């Protein structure tokens, strides 16, 4: 597990750890059930007090991303879905007859199975994509990034907004990162209409930040204050006070124009690209996307096969 901290940064070490571990889980770098270093092992490795690691682990456990069990250590929380062995590839016939065998062992009849297939045939077609994300100010960014790829509307909801009217999923494909999936997945009956996707870990962008000379100025531009806060913590964990960070909202074009002369690098989200590109030379500009082309294709494939 790759993780770093900067003790000279003004960002608390606990927060540096939370952002890095949270991103690793949301991006799929840390898989469900994967074991993390023990509290004392990670504290020794990073040279910090064990209470700092405890605080970070406990926070991630409180939000459902980690499981801390006496005797078995700290693990990434389960996604709630059965995961087959990576070395096992079952054919459609094998999976189908395995399902029938398990249904019969549970006492269900052939007619019960027929009823399930009849209900499947009658379900409403997908008319919208619902993306569930717990950060409200991410929603404009998500909708801006995903909408151009689909012919049906893309809407964002908070987990509690989804749960307040669960019937709205009946004609929707629900998309969520693993970071938020645990809050509502047990309420989704039809898992063919639930896509758990990874958030991009921004490896290329962070690598570019890592190569900035000391005393550089990094400009972060986004429609999301929360995204800029997260990025600032990640940069602080990598570079500490070596790289100064200036966060600017996309609509503050006056500040963006001012920073062109002073910033060594601009990092912006996809929703800010059009504005920032008007002022910033391509050599200084890096664009961050929440979703990879692979994730977008995964959503398209699910719509095509199960929509």
Question: Which residues, 6+ apart, have CB-to-CB distance to 10 below 8 Å?
Answer: 236, 241
Q: How far is CA 78 from CA 25, 181, 228, in A?
A: 11, 10, 28
Query: CA angle at residue 193 from 192 to 198, to 5 degrees?
Result: 95
Question: Which residues, 6+ apart, have CB-to-CB distance to 52 below 8 Å?
Answer: 13, 14, 17, 43
φ, ψ dihedrals at 266, nearest 5°: -115, 130
pLDDT digits (tens, 9 = 90+) for 137-154: 999 999 999 999 999 999
Find out whether 103 and 112 touch, Cβ atoms under 8 Å: yes
pLDDT for residue 241:
87
Q: Residue 276: which H helix or E strand, with range?
A: helix 273-277
DSSP H stretches of helix in 169-252: 178-181, 203-210, 225-239
Instruction: Sketch out the chain's domains with CATH numbers.
Output: 13-76 (1.10.10.10), 123-200+293-306 (3.40.50.2300), 203-288 (3.40.50.2300)
- Does 301 have pLDDT greater than 90? yes
Task: Tell me how far apart the alpha carbons of residues 109 and 98 are, in angstroms, rounded to a whole number.
Answer: 15
pLDDT digits (tens, 9 = 90+) for 266-296: 999 999 999 999 999 999 999 999 998 999 9
Tokens encoding 194: 């639930």
pLDDT digits (tens, 9 = 90+) for 153-177: 999 999 999 999 999 999 999 999 8
pTM of structure: 0.76
């Amino acid at each position: 597990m790759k993780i770093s901290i900067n003790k000279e940064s003004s960002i608390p070490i606990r927060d540096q750890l939370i952002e890095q571990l949270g991103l690793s889980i949301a991006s799929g770098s840390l898989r469900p059930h994967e074991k993390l270093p023990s509290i004392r092992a990670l504290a020794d490795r990073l040279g910090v007090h064990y209470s700092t690691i405890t605080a970070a682990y406990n926070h991630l456990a409180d939000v459902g991303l980690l499981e801390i069990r006496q005797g078995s250590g700290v693990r990434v929380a389960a996604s709630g879905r059965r995961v087959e062995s990576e070395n096992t590839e079952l054919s459609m016939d094998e999976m189908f007859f395995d399902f029938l065998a398990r249904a019969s062992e549970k006492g269900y009849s052939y007619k019960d199975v027929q009823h399930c297939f009849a209900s499947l045939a009658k379900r409403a077609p997908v008319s919208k994509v619902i993306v569930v994300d717990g950060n409200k100010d991410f929603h404009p960014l998500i909708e801006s990034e995903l909408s151009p790829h689909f012919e049906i509307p893309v809407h964002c909801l908070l987990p509690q907004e989804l749960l307040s009217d669960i019937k709205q999923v009946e004609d929707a494909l629900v998309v969520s990162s693993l970071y938020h999936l645990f809050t509502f997945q047990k309420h989704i009956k039809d898992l063919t209409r639930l896509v758990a996707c990874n958030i991009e870990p921004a490896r290329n962008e962070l690598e570019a930040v890592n190569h900035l000379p000391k005393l550089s100025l990094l400009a972060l531009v986004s429609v999301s204050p929360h995204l800029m806060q997260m990025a600032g913590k990640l940069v602080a964990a990598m570079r500490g006070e070596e790289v100064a960070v200036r966060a600017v909202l996309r609509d503050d074009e006056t500040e963006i124009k001012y920073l062109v002369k002073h910033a060594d690098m601009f990092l912006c989200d996809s929703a800010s690209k059009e504005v920032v590109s008007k002022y910033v030379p391509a050599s200084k500009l890096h664009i961050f996307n929440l979703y990879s082309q692979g994730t977008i294709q995964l959503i398209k494939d699910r719509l095509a096969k199960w929509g």
